[in-house]
Amino acid sequence: MSVISYGLVRARLEPSGSMLARNWVAMRRAWVLVVSGGVESLLFLFAFGFGVGSMVGDITLPDGTVISYTSYVAPAILANAAMMGTLLETSINVFAKFKWMKVYDGILNTPMRPGDVALGEVWWALIRGGIYVGMFVIAMGAFGLLDSWWSLLAVPASVFIALAFSGIGLTLATFFREWTDFDWMMAVVFAMFLFGGTFTPVEAYPGFAQPIVYVMPLYHGIELVRGLSLGDFSPMMVVNVLYLVALAVAGTWFAQRRLAKALYK
Amino acid sequence: MPLENEILVRARDLRKRYGDHEAVRGVDFEIQRGEAFGFLGANGAGKSTTMRMIGCVSEPSGGHLEVFDRDPHTDGPAIRARLGVVPQDNTLDTMLTVFENLTVYAGYFGIKRKEARAKAAELLEFVQLTARSGDQVNDLSGGMQRRLAIARSLINAPDLVILDEPTTGLDPQARHLVWERLFQLKQQGVSILLTTHYMDEAEQLCDRLVVMDEGRIIAQGSPRELIDTYVTKEVVELRFGGKHTTALAEIARGLDGIGGQIEPLPDRILVYTDDADDTAAALEAREIRPTSMLDRRATLEDVFLRLTGRALVEDEA
């Protein structure tokens, strides 16, 4: 790495860093709000993992391995936590800053560009998602659901989920007009949570439904996190990662285009 | 040392179109370093749109624009780095405190934290908000919010400060406080560009101004030049008891030939004249006896009414 290219990277990232700094300062007084989002996922883990898990016991995966239902569901709920953390941060909070508080209007009068704003929001969403994931993984460890050191790879895997959903959330934020639009988003999110392979392998669904599941971003996140935390590697994981990264890049790029169009009027 | 007559903004045939509506229809102007330049005009005249184009947050649809000798299309961030902007609606960050509004904003310009804090404290002092430093923005009055927005616009020591209707919506006391600050900035040699629909504001603050109407510049010059060019030295204001609008228009028709231009307003008639005594005598000769007659010097407001007078008539219709 030459000095010049280091300088270039820094010059590229510094503006988005100041957007991140703004969110940090703004949320400093509201950490309880941020952390409470993580608690929700823990409740899910208790309800489904231990509640339902104690009744189901062990299950046999399509490839023949036998594991406890709780260890099967936990990674999926982890993936869900990463999704919710970033999706809510980027969609609802960005929407509020964009349409209600007009925060970006002020920011674009500075050297900052819409792309810097979008990227800064992605960094912030990653941090928020990272907090949820961290809380969750600690809980998984405490309940003995982490079978090997490999399962710690679930953490970086969740970063890809967080990336993908921050891109999606940003784009949605630019399309939403009013709060009721979020009900639609939540409905879709809930459907993904229920049918994206959280509770059952995709193979359990009827044939016509399976392609729909394959399109769901959450499905790819769940596959990735589950595979890693169970130490069950497959080449499909590369596809999962690529799909998530593609969504992240496309979402962020599209969102900054939409922001520019709305604010550079 | 700034160059003599250094031109900060240069616009030629500048245009902005929104769909079928052309908000700015080919305007030409130059803004020099060190001057306070005003855009005067009614709402919807195209002032704010022009400000946004200069501020590089709106792409011109036609014509030529240069800010600091650069092209806003390609050098937006570099130009904005040298501008200070006070938008009409402040756009303060309501999730931050007064002090944080300044330090965080400094971050967007890449100003280091320590320097930002020092600068923020200094600017809060300047706009007399030091005591409110830790308050939430929403707890401030309208005048204080505007002053905070002005402080924020100065955080990067801009070469040009753009203020879009800096005192609209403020009570008289708050307006004077804002004017005082702007006047002080002017004395420090900061170049100021402002829009307003208040004539007294333009007259007090602007060295040079343009009058905009329906997307065009219809007059330009110093306040004095505009008054000399477009209106007579004096204005006689006539009131006829409780008579207004149509009744006054009727009377105004009978005033033809007295003084210069006659401008019926809803509550009074303005007669532009070079000699108020002559006008009074002429009225007496026609046996027109107003209930009150006020003789005063012409102001920018008269220029504005003269130039865009018909707008008032249309409003009544």
Q: State the ipTM, two decimals.
A: 0.87
Give how many domains chain A has, as a whole number.
Answer: 1
**Residue B315 clears pLDDT 60, i.e. is over it:** no
Q: How many CB pairs under 8 A join A and B?
A: 74
- In angstroms, the CA A161 to CA A141 distance is 20
DSSP line for B230-290: HS-SEEEEEE-TT--HHHHHHHHHTTTTSSS-EEE-SS-EEEEES-HHHHHHHHHHTT---
| Lowest-confidence pick of A234-248, B30-44, B95-109, B281-295 | B281-295
**pLDDT for position B301:** 83
User: Bridge-partner residues for B163, per DSSP?
Assistant: B86, B194
Tell me the residue type at A60. Answer: T
**Residue B317 clears pLDDT 50, i.e. is over it:** no
User: Which residues, other chains included, contact A108 with Cβ-Cβ below 8 Å and sequence gap of 6+?
Assistant: A114, A117, A263, A264, B57
Residues B191, B274 share a domain: no
Is A51 inside any structural domain?
yes
Q: How far apart are the CA of B96 and the nearest CA of chain A, in angstroms? A: 6
Is A112 inside any structural domain?
yes
- In angstroms, the CA B228 to CA B210 distance is 15
Burial A163-191 (b: 16+ CB within 10 A, else e): bbbbbbbbbbbbebeeeeebeebeeebee
| Lowest-confidence pick of A219-223, B193-197, B263-267 | B263-267
Sign of CA dihedral B220, B221, B222, B226: negative
Is A170 inside any structural domain?
yes
Is A73 inside any structural domain?
yes
Is B316 inside any structural domain?
no
Is B2 inside any structural domain?
no
Is B173 inside any structural domain?
yes
Listed by number, the residues of chain B in 196-235 with a beta carbon closer than 8 Å to a beta carbon of chain A are none
CA distances from B63 to A257, B30, B215, B306 (A): 25, 14, 14, 29
Which of B88-97, B229-238, B285-294 tops mean pLDDT?
B88-97
The confidence band for A6, taking pLDDT boundaries of 50, 70 and 90, is low
- Percent of chain B past pLDDT 70, that is, above it, reads 96
CB-CB under 8 Å, A14 with B109: no
- Percent of chain B past pLDDT 90, that is, above it, reads 60
Task: Estimate to the nearest angstrom the gap between the alpha carbon of A207 and the chain centroid.
Answer: 27
What length is written for chain A?
265
Residues B283, B181 share a domain: no
Is A23 inside any structural domain?
yes
CB-CB under 8 Å, A111 with B57: no
pLDDT digits 0-9 by tens, A58-80: 888 877 888 888 888 888 888 98
CATH number, domain containing residue B56: 3.40.50.300
Flag whether residue B83 sits within 8 Å of chain A, measured between CB atoms. Answer: yes
Is A148 inside any structural domain?
yes
Q: How many CA atoms lie within 13 A of B277 on its CB side?
A: 0
Is B215 inside any structural domain?
yes
Residues B106, B26 share a domain: yes
Listed residues B169, B188, B221: the one ending a domain:
B221
Helix axes B98-108, A3-27, angle to 10 degrees: 160
Contact A70/A229 with Cβ under 8 angstroms?
Answer: no
Q: Give me the domain span that covers residue B193.
A: 7-221
Residues B208, B242 share a domain: no
- In angstroms, the CA A112 to CA B111 distance is 13
Mutate to test the interface with A, among B21, B59, B79, B93 (most CBs of A within 10 A): B93
Option in A22, A103, A108 nearest B57 (CB): A108
Is B260 inside any structural domain?
yes
Pairing outcome for strands B7-18 and B62-67: antiparallel
Nearest to B233 by CA among B202, B197, B278: B278
The confidence band for B231, taking pLDDT boundaries of 50, 70 and 90, is confident
Q: Give me the domain span that covers residue A88.
A: 14-263
Give how many domains chain B has, as a whole number.
Answer: 2
Q: Which has more pLDDT, B55 or A132? A: B55
Name all contacts of B286-291 with Cβ < 8 Å and 24+ positions apart. B286/B254, B286/B255, B286/B258, B288/B251, B288/B254, B288/B255, B290/B238, B290/B239, B290/B240, B291/B239, B291/B240, B291/B241
Is B309 inside any structural domain?
no
The confidence band for A5, taking pLDDT boundaries of 50, 70 and 90, is low
Structure tokens given for A213: 């599941």
Q: For the residues A73-100, what does the mean pLDDT come to?
A: 89
Is A9 inside any structural domain?
no
Is A1 inside any structural domain?
no
